A and B are shown apart, each in its own frame.
Chain A
């Protein structure tokens, strides 16, 4: 393959890797300095996005099926199909977790409830699901101050009886107009645990917690976000995290969720 205007044109695979942040330093440097390859990369990106959009969630169960799954209304074969799909699909898992958020205020009854959090048991490989809301009116605590760091507002989420998640919002050191969200999980084995950041039903980023149970999301704007922590046989959904905006009023009943 050749491209006019570039003496050493990159392959399409190189450009694809460049777009997804998987390319090596030489390819990155080449694209930075080559207008032709930048143009090709831009076009490739549009092409990829187009087809991804067209087939977006094409084979996913319908939203109504996921709703009926959460309400335990599906017949066994359909239930098994949904469970098989949920193994791989972050979007359907997210939708299902949102179903449980609504259900936390409605029957069928959850497995157990602790302050601000609700446990569910499902048929998916004995998966347990926890929905957790901020513990109290989000009065800033100062968990990080003990480390001698800036006293940024930290919000606490109770994860069942003994575990906690702290979410701290600070200025992103790489971009002063942007925000950083620091996560710290305590009281749970965090090895291999992943955390997803969602906004308006879009998966923004997936990170793996480090050995200390920490993860950092950068380059965020003010707004409402969701977090999903995943480990084998465990999903923890935090449906509301507010960064530099007002926290939603805690829900009182199913009528004012």
Chain B
């Protein structure tokens, strides 16, 4: 094994070649030396060496891409997969690029573990975005009716930025803690009214009251949204 001093004198290209060959050994479950890859990470991140950075991505994309694919539970295409992979590297490297933060990861195993955790996180973000994409509303069910409120088809046009602005409006419209709790627990977290009552019996007299507040909130949402879109288009 080479001493750390001599690793420090290797150029990036030699270091990267050695890192790639040691990684191949590891993947074949043969004893391998981790110090070349660790040094390559240090040069790429702490010393901001672009060639080292490129060679790292080239070596570790074989680990990151399958990890992301495995954690994607919602539909995705090739572009989604590549976006997630790029974000995984970016998020991991963003944290590690200062000498102080890099020092918190004393071994290659620490760095790779965090890189794979970032891969999981980007896949989870994709899963969340997909889960927050409203389904198509059956047109037959969107006619106005006195008994139940119908979803405004315009709501399907809402974009992420719009959603955040609209959410602030809804949040500000809540008249009491009951409504805030129903907004958070029912609309955001998807808890059932009986689960909300079980968690907050101090706020509601019974399950029916949770349903009442829920309906008041949804009807207000519909009204607010129509008003919001109207203002937006004027």
Contacts and interface: CB of A to CB of B under 8 A. Distances in A.
Which secondary structure dominates where chain A touches chain B?
helix
Nearest to A14: B211
A16 interface: yes
B133 A53 contact: yes
Contacts of B189: 57, 88-91
A80 interface: no
B134 A53 contact: yes
Contacts of B194: 20, 22
A3 B147 contact: yes
Give the size category of B's interface with A: 35 or more
B150 A51 contact: no
B148 A254 contact: no
B113 A22 contact: no
B120 A15 contact: no
Contacts of A103: 113, 117
A15 B146 CA distance: 13
A176 interface: no
Contacts of A233: none
Interface string B61-90: 001000100100100000000000000000
Given A22-B193, A52-B190, A106 B148 contact: no
B203 to A, nearest CB: 13
Contacts of B67: 257
Contacts of B135: 49-50, 53
A59 B184 contact: yes
A57 B184 CA distance: 8
Interface string B8-48: 00000000000000000011000000000000000000000
A133 B189 CA distance: 27
Which secondary structure dominates where chain B touches chain A?
helix
B172 interface: no
A89 B199 CA distance: 12
A36 B145 CA distance: 11
B187 A254 contact: no
A63 interface: yes
A180 B74 CA distance: 25
B148 A50 contact: no
Given A51-B218, A60-B188, A66 B121 contact: yes
A200 interface: yes
Given A63-B125, A255-B63, A107 B107 contact: yes
Given A13-B211, A20-B194, 9 more contacts: A17-B211, A50-B135, A54-B132, A55-B187, A58-B132, A106-B117, A201-B131, A206-B195, A254-B109
Please list the 5 inter-chain residue pairs (A to B) with the smallest Cβ-Cβ separation, ordered nearest first. Answer: A106-B113, A63-B124, A67-B121, A63-B121, A56-B132
Interface of A: 1-3, 9, 12-13, 15-17, 20, 22, 39-40, 42-44, 46-60, 62-64, 66-68, 70-71, 73, 88-91, 95, 98-99, 102-103, 105-108, 200-201, 203, 206, 254-255, 257
